[in-house]
Amino acid sequence: MKVCHVTMHYQPLVGGQEVYIKNLIDIFNKHGIQSDVIQPFNFHRGVNSSGVKIIYTPTIPKLPQWLKWFVFNLNLRFYRKKLKYYDVLICHYPFHYPAVKWHKKVIVVSHGILFDKQLKTIFDKYLAKASQLVCRSRCLVVANDTDFLRYNGLALTPAENFFTEVKPRMWFIPNCIDIDKYADQGASRDNKIVVVRNIRPDRGIDLAIRAFALFNKEVGGYQLAFIGSVGDKKYYEQCRLLVSELGLDNQVEFIGHLNQEAVIKQYAAAKMSLVPSLAKEGTSLSALESMAGGTPVVSTDIGGLADLPALKVAVEAESMAKAMLAIINDWQYYSTQQKAEVQKFNLNNWAAAWLKVIKSLSHDY
């Protein structure tokens, strides 16, 4: 079987979606399934893991990021002859499905989407319509959170029906990780709180800063570290200004992007991590990684975060600060509880579910 992953992002491996695709390719390789990737050219020709062939489509560097998604969809229509070669297309985000819906066998992966009335951009409206089209079509859907499925009409409770076909052609397969890779290393922990998020508004960096300021008034001596690339320079500067306005310059640092090994060390040395996302979040890989290593997580309850065993709060600085205090006051309990509950989110369960999805394609749906 030959599979092509249709995605805006694969190389370089800098975020959760890229890691997801790499893990999927590795699993497919072990079972004799060939994987290629089609993505926009991003002026980075790094070493491709697993011998992956990448088809690069043209792009215009100075275009806004949201507009590049539409350009990629337009370009996909000119690659129809090449894409016919593949037995299956896997669209990473419903956004791309309208451009390849002609293909007989398409799998669409949700990757976590928050549908909210406040999201009114052309991009968000198109994404919502594409998602509705996907759920009405003959394609196969793999949602990594129940929020996506509820939005599209399924009455599902968060954190239920893991790794199952919840409706014909609709699967709930949450993000999963190599549990052993992030296992507690028994290292001594600093009074440090980490936020492994790229810096952009929907990741709630400012929410974490405000919550930390309230937490700091109750418990001094802690540091807050943000680990991730700057995706929005204007927002980054606003966050730096907020840090200064709150008098936290000596307690908050923006470390930038780190490789996976370095991130693991950051988790191992921290007392807790925060996932303060405001939108477009699935079953967060960073939350899973942190909990697997015994570092408790406080997260908002939006999107796929509702499916995770983190200590969940409303999108409010006060609520997040209160939860942070709860973890500090009973750290061992939350560390042990979350580490135990996160064990189901392992790559073996994930791989088994995905192989069932691929096997189901042998049927004419």
112, pLDDT greater than 80: no
In a domain, 194, yes or no: yes
What band does 114 get if pLDDT is binned at 50, 70 and 90?
A: low
pLDDT at 62: 87
In a domain, 160, yes or no: yes
Question: Rounded to two decimals, what is the model's pTM?
Answer: 0.88
In a domain, 217, yes or no: yes
pLDDT at 363: 61
pLDDT digit string (tens) for 160-185? 899 999 999 999 999 999 999 888 76
Coil, strand or helix at 149: helix
Residue 139 sits in the same domain as residue 124? yes
What does R_g of the chain's alpha carbons equal in angstroms? Answer: 20
pLDDT digit string (tens) for 259-286? 888 999 999 999 999 999 988 788 998 9
In a domain, 365, yes or no: no
Residue 151 sits in the same domain as residue 10? yes
Query: Can you read off the two tokens belonging to residue 57?
Result: 């489509």
Tell me, what amino acid is at 117?
K
Residue 333 sits in the same domain as residue 285? yes
Which letter does DSSP use for residue 305 in this model?
G
Query: Can you read off the two tokens belonging to residue 22?
Result: 């790499």
Cα 149 from chain centroid (whole Å): 16
pLDDT at 120: 67
For 19-65, give the DSSP string.
HHHHHHHHHHHHTT-EEEEEEE--S---PPGGG-EEEEEP--TTS-H
Residue 310 sits in the same domain as residue 352? no
In a domain, 252, yes or no: yes
Q: What are phi and psi of 230, to 5 degrees?
A: -85, 110
Which range of residues forms the domain containing residue 275? 179-344
Query: Can you read off the two tokens belonging to residue 115?
Result: 């549908």
Residue 232 sits in the same domain as residue 196? yes
| Interatomic CA distance for residues 229 and 105, integer angstroms | 35
| Interatomic CA distance for residues 43 and 295, integer angstroms | 36
In a domain, 186, yes or no: yes
| Interatomic CA distance for residues 157 and 216, integer angstroms | 35
| Domains of the chain: total | 2
| Interatomic CA distance for residues 16 and 174, integer angstroms | 13
Residue 229 sits in the same domain as residue 274? yes
Which letter does DSSP use for residue 361 in this model?
T
What is the rounded average pLDDT for all residues in the chain? 91
Residue 331 sits in the same domain as residue 183? yes
Residue 213 sits in the same domain as residue 268? yes
In a domain, 164, yes or no: yes
Residue 221 sits in the same domain as residue 150? no
pLDDT digit string (tens) for 41-62? 976 655 555 578 999 999 988 8
| Interatomic CA distance for residues 322 and 320, integer angstroms | 5
In a domain, 122, yes or no: yes
For 204-262, give the DSSP string.
THHHHHHHHHHHHHHS-S-EEEEES-BS-HHHHHHHHHHHHHTT-TTTEEE-----HHH
Residue 35 sits in the same domain as residue 158? yes
Q: Is the distance from CB of 353 to CB of 171 less than 8 angstroms?
A: yes
Q: Is the distance from CB of 200 to CB of 171 less than 8 angstroms?
A: no
Q: What is the CATH number of the domain that holds 252?
A: 3.40.50.2000
Residue 201 sits in the same domain as residue 166? no
Residue 73 sits in the same domain as residue 8? yes
Q: Is the distance from CB of 205 to CB of 232 less than 8 angstroms?
A: no
| Interatomic CA distance for residues 205 and 207, integer angstroms | 5
